Amino acid sequence: MAADCSECGRSSEVEVTLSRWRGNEAIDPHFGLPLRLVEKTAAGVLWAYNEAHLQALHDYAAAPLRERAGVTHGSMFSRLPQWMKLARNRVLLQRAVERLQRRLLQG
């Protein structure tokens, strides 16, 4: 692919590849851009893509019983960081999600 420098006008051939980001950072896996909905907690970093993702995390944290029956290893909840799955962090997770929900509403 050809790319033109906006400063000098020189054109160069550059290789462009697509790869999915699989790290633990709050970065969009497709575009490599930082996510907007990020909240640091004492146990770890919480991030979400959108309002629906936040609501799913809130519902997970608020659930009185987390059953594994029928849950595949490909589900979002099976891939959550360990700190989010611990019962002792439920309130911490709920409060972090609620802070992000308020931030989302404020625009």
- Is the pLDDT at 9 greater than 60, yes or no? yes
Q: Which residues contact 7 (CB under 8 A, 6 or more apart)?
A: none
Global confidence as pTM: 0.69
Judge whether 39 and 48 are in contact, CB under 8 Å. no
Q: Each residue of 33-92: pLDDT tens digit?
A: 889 999 999 999 999 999 999 999 999 999 887 766 665 566 788 888 999 999 999 999
Question: Looking up tokens 């439920």, which residue turns up?
Answer: 90
Rounded to the nearest 5°, which phi and psi values hold at 37?
-95, 85
Question: Looking up tokens 């936040």, which residue turns up?
Answer: 54
The residue that leads in pLDDT, 30 or 9, is 9
What's the pLDDT band for 21 if we cut at 50, 70, 90? low
Query: Taking the domains of the chain in order of start, what are their residue ranges?
Result: 24-106
Judge whether 26 and 36 are in contact, CB under 8 Å. no
What's the pLDDT band for 19 if we cut at 50, 70, 90? low
pLDDT of residue 74: 67
